[in-house]
Amino acid sequence: MHYKQWRRNGEPRRRRTIAERFDDYWRPHPGPLESPCHLWGGALSDRGYGKIGSMRAHRFAWERAHGPIPEGMCVLHCCDVRACVNAEHLFLGTQLENIADRDSKGRAATVAGERNQSAKLNATDVERIRDMWRVGGVTQKAIAAHMGISHPTVNAIIKRRLWAHAA
């Protein structure tokens, strides 16, 4: 045993339970009083969810309040605060319901068109690309060179695999 696992009197140190550690890491949100978020103060995943051991903190909070999570079910946040562990803000849903909830609240990972901060083109550029191709007399490679993008991107725009929402 490692020396930190022993007390000074020679007795083994009791390992704290996950529930004891969980209680050390959440705190009420200082916001509105009606059912405030309980924010996770421990480790966070790269996506902003609380972590305790190898488990997501909001899943532990659900299990602690309501029992085991049925197989194939996700624990969703009605408050949309990923670090919230308030069991009143959590509900069960399927993966499809989780995706629909995310999309309906505008939290989709991919943002199309000009709203994507990495976009090199705007709707006018896309319209110009499609017009050049429709008129003819110019290759996709030439369009790509003119617009400063790749040939496969031009092809995907013309075939509406990219920028399908644009004119």
Which helix (H) or strand (E) is 98 found in, with range? helix 95-104
End-of-domain residue from the set 81, 104, 127? 104
Distance, CA of 64 to CA of 12 (rounded, Å): 28
pLDDT surpasses 80 at 18: yes
**Mean pLDDT score across all residues of the chain:** 85
What is the rounded distance in angstroms from the CA atom of residue 92 to the CA atom of residue 52?
Answer: 20
147 and 100 both lie in a single domain: no
Ranges 3-7, 71-75, 94-98: which has the least confidence: 3-7
Task: Read off the pTM.
Answer: 0.57
Q: Is residue 74 part of a domain?
A: yes
Structural domain range at position 26: 18-104
For residue 15, what pLDDT is reported? Answer: 78
For residue 2, the model assigns a pLDDT of: 52
Q: pLDDT tens-digit profile of 93-107?
A: 999 999 998 888 877
Shared domain check, 100 and 24: yes
Give the alpha-carbon dihedral of 78, 82, 85, 88, to 10 degrees.
Answer: 0
Q: How many domains is the chain partitioned into structurally?
A: 2
Residue 139 lies in a domain: yes
Q: Are residues 43 and 76 in the same domain?
A: yes
Structure tokens at 55: 């488990």
Question: Is the pLDDT confidence value at 160 over 80?
Answer: yes
Q: Is residue 63 over pLDDT 80? A: yes
